Amino acid sequence: MVEGILYKDEAYKIIGAAFEVHNELKNGFLEPVYQEAIQKEFVLQGIPFQKEALISIYYKGDKLDKYYKADFICYNDIIIELKALSDLTSEHESQLINYLKATNKKLGILINFGKPSLQYKRIINNLVT
C-alpha cells in the first residue's frame, strides 16, 4: 500500500495562505510583517494555529531552561517557520528539524517570503514512529 502525502490537505491550505500573503505584499518586508499578515490570513481561511508556540527541550529526561519558539504550529501538528531572506540555507532547515525533534511532530514547513517567488519546503521528521 502506498502511503499518501503527510497532512496533504492541511499543508495545501497553509501553503495557499502563504501564497496569498506573498501575492498581496510581494517580497521586501521584514519577517514580522509577514508573520502578522499570515496570522490574519490563517484567521480568514479558518486555519487553526498557535502563534510563537514555546517548544520545550529535554536533556536526558530533564527539561532545560532554554526553549525554542516556533513561528506557528497549525492544526496542532504542523510547525511553520517563516523567513524573509534572499535565500534559505541548510541552517534554516536544521532549525526546523530541531523543532520537529523537540516536539516529536512529523511535519514542518519552512516558508521564505524574501524572494520574488514564494519559496517553501516541507520537512519530514523521520525519527517519529
Using one digit for the tens of pLDDT, what is the confidence trace for 18-40? 999 999 999 999 999 999 999 99
pLDDT in tens, 103-114: 899 999 999 999
Residue 59, all three cell numbers: 536533556
Confidence band for 1, pLDDT divided at 50, 70 and 90? very low
Write down the pLDDT at residue 33: 98
Q: Is residue 2 part of a domain?
A: no
Q: For Cα atoms 26, 119, 31, give the angle at the middle one, nearest 5 degrees.
A: 55
Instruction: Determine which of 46-55, 57-66, 72-81 has the lowest per-residue pLDDT on average.
Output: 57-66
How many structural domains does the chain have?
Answer: 1
54 pLDDT above the threshold of 70: yes
Q: Is residue 3 part of a domain?
A: no
Query: What is the mean pLDDT of the segment spanning 53-61?
Result: 92
pTM of the model: 0.92
Q: Check residue 89 and give its pLDDT.
A: 93
Question: Domain with 38 in it: what CATH number?
Answer: 3.90.320.10
Percent of the chain with pLDDT over 90: 89
Note down the domain range covering 84.
8-124
Cα–Cα dist 52/9, whole Å: 23
> Is residue 32 assigned to a domain?
yes
Cell match 516541507: residue?
Answer: 122
Q: Closest by alpha carbon to 19, among 88, 124, 115, 126?
A: 115
What does pLDDT average to over the chain? 93
